[in-house]
Amino acid sequence: MKRLLFYILILFFVHIAAAQQRPQYTQYVFNNFLLNPAVTGIENYTDVKAGYRSQWTGLNGAPVTSYLTINAPLGREFIEGSANSFSAGGGENPNSRLYTQDYMAAAPHHGIGAMVVTDKAGPITTTNFDATYAYHLGLTDRLNLSVGVAAGFMRTNLNTSEITLETALDPAIANGNNGQFHPDLGLGMWLYSSNYYFGISAQQILPQSLYLKSTSIDVIKTVPHYFFTAGVKLFVSDDITLMPSVLVKQIKPVPLTYDVNMKLAFRDNFWIGGSYRHGDSFGAMTGFYLNSFLNVGYSYDITTSALNTVSSGTHELVIGILLNNRYKVTCPRYGF
């Protein structure tokens, strides 16, 4: 009976996470690097971002995600050879029509990066450590293509101190394989120009079985996650730019899901936006490009699923730092 209760508890959390073995983000448009390794090194500076997401606030054991990412370009021609496109003080606002008209494809270059993502749901904590690499090349004088790979490992840990059973030393816990390491691999492609992008990627493409040593039953099986994303810039005026985007996710056996987002940017100073996640939530977002070193974004999701009776919403905060920013840009030029 005690073991049965334990398995029911575990399966409960597995059921919650079945559609979300990898964390989901409202501000993925602020850091597409999280979903697609081909974005590695897309900008002319070293891009560092730290994020924190508290999902379904008010629900005990709800997912909490934190991450730290860093990626940078390699290639002197790209880093130093863009003097015609960049000038001291940042040059032309990349959200403007004029920047789009003068845009030139990035010089061929490499990108390297790394990320640490920790996701905690109930007593289960999953941490991914990945190194990334991408190669960028110009297909035409205005169109770029990059391909990338992410490789590392995933650690899954069951915190038995958060589980209460009739017998504290139940062998299902005491003898279980409560901390496990597994390889992790992801791939991606990114097609981008000055005013649109398309991306496809796959995460967790090496399926793994997470289990307890005391039983032959597989408690969790990881599955590949597939993503398609696209966005475009629409110019309302010389100072205001509308940027709609979409993210489609395929995670079997869960039905196809999608997010729709809209950002309204005022020059390279700040932006506001909204999002809709099918069958899950509506979100409000805002971000500020404070200077050539620091930017910040915040979002709040209103839950529309059945969990809205026990959840007061989802908060997400992202802080960005621009290192080695030789041309003092304040917002992305090759990304959105």
Residue range 186-190: mean pLDDT, rounded: 98
- Amino acid in the structure at residue 76: R
Mean pLDDT of the chain: 83
Mean pLDDT of the 207-220 span: 60
CB atoms within 10 A of CB 234: 12
The residues, ordered by sequence, that sit 6+ positions from 149 with a Cβ below 8 Å of its Cβ are 37, 132, 133, 134, 185, 186, 187, 188
For 263-302, the DSSP string reads EEEETTTEEEEEEEETTTEEEEEEEEE-SSSEEEEEEEEE
**In sequence order, which residues have a C-beta less than 8 Å from that of residue 331 and are 6 or more positions away?**
94, 95, 265, 268, 289, 295
Mean pLDDT of 83-112: 71
**86 within 8 A of 94, measured Cβ to Cβ:** no
Could you tell me which CATH number the domain at 2-323 has? 2.40.160.40
Where b means 16+ CB within 10 Å and e means fewer, 252-265 reads: eeeeebebebbbbb
Q: Taking the model in full, what pTM does it have?
A: 0.85
Enter the tokens of residue 133. 């690499």
Identify the band that residue 56 occupies on the pLDDT scale cut at 50, 70 and 90: confident
Model confidence pLDDT, tens digit, residues 124-157: 889 999 999 999 999 998 999 999 999 999 998 8
**Could you report the per-residue pLDDT of 246-269, keeping only the tens digit for each?**
999 998 888 889 999 999 999 889
Residue 181 above 70 pLDDT? yes
pLDDT for 17 beyond 50: no
pLDDT at 326 over 80: yes
Q: What is the band of 1 on the pLDDT scale with cuts at 50, 70, 90?
A: very low
Per-residue pLDDT, 231 = 95
Domain ranges in the chain are 2-323
Asked whether residue 307 carries a pLDDT value surpassing 50, the answer given is yes
Range with lowest mean pLDDT among 97-111, 153-167, 203-217, 304-318: 203-217
More confident residue, 163 or 173: 163
User: CB under 8 Å to 97, separation ≥6 — which residues?
Assistant: 235, 238
Give me the mean pLDDT over the 299-322 stretch.
Answer: 83
What tens digit of pLDDT does each residue of 21-47 get?
A: 788 899 988 899 999 999 999 999 999
